[in-house]
Structures are given as C-alpha cells and as structure tokens.
Structure 1
C-alpha cells in the first residue's frame, strides 16, 4: 500500500485547491495541472475532510494550507532577491513546484480522531518527504523537484545542494519558526542539537 491514490478529483475539489494555492499563476499551465492533481491526490487520500483541516504538525494548531502559502511567498521573495543581488537564475516551474509541494505528504502523515491530531501509521513506516517524493514522481515531476522534496525535512540524513533546495530550506524554516513563536514553542533557530 502506498498510502495515497493519484486522482484528478472532482471539479469542485480542483477549484478549492486552485483557490487556496499561492503561486499557480507563476507556473506553466502543464505544471499548474500537475500541482493541483498532486494536492487533490494527497488531500483525498487523507482522513481530512476539508483542506483547512489538514494539519501542519501534531505539535502545532497551525493549518498546513497557511504554512504552504507562507513558504511559497517567502521562497519567491528569496529567489527574487538572489536574482537581483547575485544574478542567480531560477526556473520558475521548478522552484515553485518545490515550494508548493514540499509538504505534500503532511495530510498523509497525520490522522485526526475526535479533534486530536496524531502521527499516522504511514508516518511510522516512511519519513516525511519520502512519501511526498513518491507521489510527485508518479506525476512526472523532474528529479530536482522529487529529490528536494524527499530530503528537505530537518531530520533527513542529507539535504539537496541546489539553489532551489537552499531557498526552500530558508523559506521553510523561517515560516516554521514564525509558527513556533506564534504557538509558544521554541523556534528551531534557538534549539540546540546534540
């Protein structure tokens, strides 16, 4: 069992995903279709009835929908700044796919029972990032997108070395630290790893 089923979903489901995701207007029509299909597949394969119900973490009440858009917005700004200041070039379809899809497996990694969010059985079989990489590989996303999503988590054994991977890292951790601060938890920036 893969934990998900690839599906285009219904027109209303696709419309909800399109209305939610920031950055779809910045990618090609073909990539936009695959991005929407990826999120419809993750959402409808999960136990979460509404997009807004998809949790960012079992440790924070912040909705995944907000986190994904925060990361995408910050990532677009970081890439724009890197282009203007240092001349770095980014392929928009690749960068936006990485930003929008980085947490595509989170709906599958958490279950909700009686309002309580807890790690799912799947999250105990495969680490965060890997399931998402499997899903988007099936949808034909390029290797750079797949490998960056697979290795972006803080506890991944190694991380990508592309500029896109760096942009995702800083955008994701900035948004995560802001969520930690809002939720009263110590931000990753202030945690000491041993």
Structure 2
C-alpha cells in the first residue's frame, strides 16, 4: 500500500523533513486500511459530492491544491518573506492531508461515490485529524486539516492553513459556481 500511495502522491518527495514525509505517508496508508476505497478509485471518483456530475477526479483536485499552495507559498516567501514566516513542509504535508478523511467519508455503491454513514456523521476534517493524530502528525498540520474547510471559519487560521484554505477553494468554487 505504501508504494500505491507514493504513486498517488509524487509530491510527498517535496517534503524535506523525512519524518514528516513518513508520517504523512503513514496517514494515507492508515486511511486506506479503514476505507472501502482503493487507490485507483481516487482517479475515478469526483473530488466533491456537492457538484452534480463533477468532471474532476479526487486526485486531480487534490494534486492541484498542493501545486497551487506551493506556488502561493513560494510567491509569498519571495515578496513577503521578511515580514511573514511560512514553513513549506507544513504547507506541503497539510495540502497532501487536508482531504485524507474523505476516504472514510465516501464509499462506492453500484460503482458510484456516495457519502458513507460515517461521512454523514463526521465530515472529513474531523476524521482526517483523527487519522493524522494517530500517525503522529504535528498539531500544526492537524490544524490545517481541521481548518481548511468551512469548519475552520470559526478559528484563527495559521499562515499555512490560510494558504491551503484558499488553494482548496480556488479549485472547488469554480466547479460549484458552474452549477448555479
């Protein structure tokens, strides 16, 4: 399973801290152990159930979010670095992990992704944090998982969580707005 996760996430190699890289990988492996989904499913299922007939897969969206966040963090470091500290490994690990809980929120019924009973009760920010904590992921990254979606609107987001919140919504809202 570790090799399958590495194939899904070549961006893992961007994380410089080897222990953080391994804990990020471990979290995905644990999620698959508890999920009805297989790694190949993530190339087929939609990244959201909130957009009817969503044309973008889970992995297309997720990898796009990581790339957007990395680019934004690099630009912010270049132009604002003297006034604003950004931990790139935190951005990268956070981006890779923000939707890991969806592996428990989704299931496939008749070949179609639907929300699981667990997903109806606990959205992916909650289950994602639980998985990450179990794997020893630092609180700074668990904060990103918890705060990346609307659940985080009531907390003060870290710089890295703010970057990922906006990167995620940059690649979600255009699809959601198409349905209006």
- TM-score range relative to shorter protein: 0.7 to 0.9
SS of residue matched to 2:107: strand
Write out per-residue CA displacement over residues 108-143 of structure 1, whole angstroms, 9 at most, x where no aligned residue. 101111122221111122123011001101111111
Structure 1 residue runs without a partner (length 5+): 1-12, 187-194
2:173 to 168, 177, 191: 177
2:19 is aligned with 1:33? no
SS of residue matched to 1:129: helix
8 Å CA contact 1:98, 1:145 repeated in 2: yes
Structure 2 residue runs without a partner (length 5+): none
Q: When you count helix as a share of all residues, which structure comes out higher?
A: 2
2:63 is aligned with 1:69? yes
Q: d(CA) in 1 for partners of 2:31 and 2:45?
A: 10
Segments ≥4 residues shifted beyond 6 Å: none
Q: d(CA) in 1 for partners of 2:45 and 2:135?
A: 21
Shift in alpha-carbon separation, 1:160–1:18, aligned structure 2, 3 A? farther
8 Å CA contact 1:148, 1:160 repeated in 2: no
Write out per-residue CA displacement over residues 36-78 of structure 1, whole angstroms, 9 at most, x where no aligned residue. 1211221232112324245422232522111111000000000
Structure 1 vs Structure 2 CA RMSD:
1.9
8 Å CA contact 2:101, 2:123 repeated in 1: no
Q: d(CA) in 2 for partners of 1:159 and 1:99?
A: 18
Instruction: Answer 1 or 2: higher relative contact order, Cα 8 Å, separation at least 6.
Output: 2
After TM superposition, the score normalised by the length of structure 1 is: 0.80
**Deviation (angstroms), 1:26:** 1.9
Partner of 1:96: 92
1:108 to 89, 104, 107: 104
